[in-house]
Amino acid sequence: MKKNSKEERFVVCIRNEGYEVSVESRKLYGIVPDPATAKYSLLRVIDESGEDYLYPEDFFLSARLLGPVEKALRAVS
C-alpha cells in the first residue's frame, strides 16, 4: 500500500493471517492517520472491536470511494 495521504480514509483487507478475529479479508475498514507508524510499515485500522489498532500495512489496499459513499460511511462511523 502506498503511504497515507489526506484523502485516504478507508482500506480493504486483503490478508489477515494471525488476525482472523480482528479483521476480515475483503472487508472495508476505516483508518486513523498516524504518520509515526508509517516508518514501521504499520497502519492504524478501526477493526472489528470498534477500536483502532496497528496492523501490517501490506494486509490492506487503499480504497478510494465516491464522495456520497464516503460521506455516508463517515456519518455512521
Fold of 10-76: SH3 type barrels. (2.30.30)
Q: Count each helix (H run) and each strand (E run) in the chain, helices first.
A: 2, 5
Distances (CA, A) of 41 to 25, 59, 69: 19, 10, 28
Predicted structure pTM score: 0.77
Q: Check pLDDT > 90 for residue 67.
A: no
Q: Which segments of 28-77 does DSSP mark as H helices, in order?
A: 35-38, 67-76
Length, in residues, of the chain? 77
pLDDT at residue 75, as a whole number: 74
Q: SS3 of 14, please? A: coil
Percent of the chain with pLDDT over 70: 86
pLDDT at 15 (0 to 100) = 96
Note the pLDDT of residue 2.
44
Is 3 a residue whose pLDDT tops 60?
no
